[in-house]
Amino acid sequence: MNRYTKKTVVALGLIFGLGLSMVARAGLSEVTDQGTTDKPVFPEVKAAWIQDGRYPNLDNLSKIHSGMTRDQIMALIEYPIFSEGFRVREWDYLFHFQVADGQGGTRVDSCLYKVLFDKNKLAQSFYWKPVSEHAVCPAQAASVATAVAAAAAEPMNLTLSADALFPFNKFSAADLNDSGRQQLNRFAQMVRDSKRDYVLQVTAYTDRIGSDAANFRLSQRRASTIKAHLVGQGVKAAAIQAVGAGESNPVVSCSSSLARAALITCLQPNRRVTIEAK
């Protein structure tokens, strides 16, 4: 590299560094030498230079604690996605978490996460701010591990109407309707995301219309079809037991005097599939 080129590189470096300091985000928190603040100031989400944010690795997030260096923080949750600059003592992130919605499905919660550093550039304080409506953010990074462990310790159950999965008297994978597939997909994802070695039991039930033998075969075929679908969604086959329970354990009783169409409608709650993950 000749002398002129070296000077050019140095000049460009100075200009670049000046530019970074000029684009550093305005409205930073007042951080003490101890790495604390009485009033954390969060950036506007639209100011993120990675607009989509990130889905953090929850295990990595749970490992963050006071006293860590910037390099250690970056190794766990990557670099911040807002332009605070390189000389400031706060980093901000936009994180998304996929959580159960309490209705057998999932939702995505979005939260801002702030890390404050002391005068020695060691992480000391951590703050959360919900972004999406009704989002629940961890109170601190360590609580993520607690929440994940608690969620993993709880069994997960799903009950679906067989009519929401299959047309009447059908059982094959080709017969599965879109709504049923989506619900099964969401459940499979929750099982995968839990990172726990769940054992699943898929139990299919029929109504009492037809012979006992025919109903048992239908329920077993439906349970096997659902097992195969969950395996296709990444759940281990060895962890799933498919059980056909036929017309046992009915939820409702209906008069035999009803016309066939009315009887089929009345008995609908008995045609169901339960999935227990323990």
Q: pLDDT truncated to tens, each residue of the chain (278 aa)?
A: 444 444 444 333 433 443 333 344 445 788 898 888 888 889 888 888 887 888 888 888 888 888 899 899 999 999 888 876 556 789 999 998 887 766 777 788 889 999 999 999 899 888 888 988 777 777 543 444 444 555 444 567 778 888 878 888 889 999 888 888 888 988 888 888 877 788 899 999 999 999 999 999 999 999 999 999 999 999 999 999 999 999 998 989 999 899 999 999 899 888 999 998 88
95 and 110 in contact (C-beta within 8 Å)? yes
Handedness of CA 91, 92, 96, 102 (dihedral sign): positive
| Dihedral Cα 150, 110, 63, 78, nearest 10 deg | 150
Pairing between strand 200-205 and 240-244? parallel
Q: Six-digit token pair at 52?
A: 């989509």
C-alpha of 175 from chain center: 28
Contacts of 106 (CB under 8 A, 6+ apart): 98, 99, 100, 186, 189, 190
Question: Does residue 51 sit in helix, strand or coil?
Answer: coil
pLDDT for 27: 54
Residue/partner pairs of 46-51 with CB below 8 Å, 24 or more apart: 47/82, 47/83, 48/81, 48/82, 48/94, 49/81, 49/82, 49/83, 50/81, 50/94
- Residue showing tokens 């209705």: 103
pLDDT for 21: 36
Residues in the chain: 278
pLDDT for 246: 92
Question: Does residue 110 sit in helix, strand or coil?
Answer: strand
pLDDT for 278: 82
N- to C-terminal Cα distance for the chain? Answer: 65
Question: Would you call 264 exposed, middle or buried from its count of C-beta atoms within 10 A (0-12, 13-18, 19+)?
Answer: middle
Question: Would you call 30 exposed, middle or buried from its count of C-beta atoms within 10 A (0-12, 13-18, 19+)?
Answer: exposed
pLDDT for 3: 46
Question: Does residue 57 sit in helix, strand or coil?
Answer: coil
Domains of the chain and any CATH numbers: 27-149 (no CATH), 155-277 (3.30.1330.60)
- pTM for the complete prediction? 0.47
Handedness of CA 264, 267, 268, 271 (dihedral sign): negative
Q: Six-digit token pair at 242?
A: 């498919």
The C-alpha atoms of residue 75 and residue 68 are separated, in whole angstroms, by 11
